[in-house]
Amino acid sequence: MKTPLLPAITLSIALLATGTAQAATVDLAGVKLEDRATVAGSPLVLNGAGIRYKAVFKVYAAGLYLGEKADTPEAVLATKGAKRISITMLRDIDSAELGKLFSRGMEDNMDRSAFSRLIPGVLRMSQVFSDHKKLQAGDNFLVDWVPGTGTVLTIKGKVEGEPFKEPEFFDALVRIWLGPKPADSLLKDALLGKSKP
């Protein structure tokens, strides 16, 4: 008696589907970033990832997640839907100092009047970082843009306060890394997928 082919084909397809559904990871100095993420139910793909250097020191590993790939800052900002920036520290750093650097990065990459409108949010973000005192190697924080909700800041797995409602706030944060005066030009290229991690 012949074995029906249909169950065998179905099993093969199921095995293929589970094999391709498994997420791949990118390894950056021991930090593993999944190539996919989900924010507020929206599936995202890793657009690019890299390491932030200060002089010769590795400071953190960063990944940018979008609903679809984008290779210019303008395309990233124009992308609709949820977005995520994932940052994992590669060295211990004073949290208040990191908050100040982020504020400076936002200010350096936008005009004064636009920045002045975001000052209440910038001060609140700086306070959130100050409250943490120190971020240690291995600590992670996420900056998520959730349409209809705002920018959600999650530090070490805990959501920090109310979302920052203005879409401009998330865009200003993105410009820290992708603006005309980025924190690290090599990291900018990496987040835009123009260089391999």
H/E segment holding residue 37: strand 36-39
Sign for the CA dihedral angle at 71, 76, 80, 83 comes to positive
Query: Residue 18: what pLDDT?
Result: 38
- pLDDT above 90 covers what percent of the chain? 70
Q: Is residue 104 within 8 Å of residue 97, measured between CB atoms?
A: no
Domain 22-191 sits in CATH 3.40.640.10: no
Query: Residue 197: what pLDDT?
Result: 65
pLDDT (tens, 9 = 90+) of the chain, 197 residues, equals 444 444 433 333 333 333 344 558 899 999 999 999 999 999 999 999 999 998 889 999 999 999 999 999 999 999 999 999 999 999 999 988 888 888 999 999 999 999 999 999 999 988 888 888 899 999 999 999 999 999 999 999 999 989 999 889 999 999 999 999 999 999 999 999 998 76
Query: Residue 11: what pLDDT?
Result: 36
Give the separation between CA 74 and CA 168, rounded to whole angstroms.
14
Query: Residue 98: what pLDDT?
Result: 85
At 119-147, the pLDDT tens digits run 999 999 888 888 888 999 999 999 999 99
Type of residue found at 8? A
Report the 10 Å Cβ neighbour count for 167: 13
Type of residue found at 2? K
Query: Residue 23: what pLDDT?
Result: 59
Query: Residue 96: what pLDDT?
Result: 83
Q: Which residues pair with 78 in a beta bridge?
A: none
How do the domains of the chain map onto residue ranges?
22-191
Query: Residue 163: what pLDDT?
Result: 95
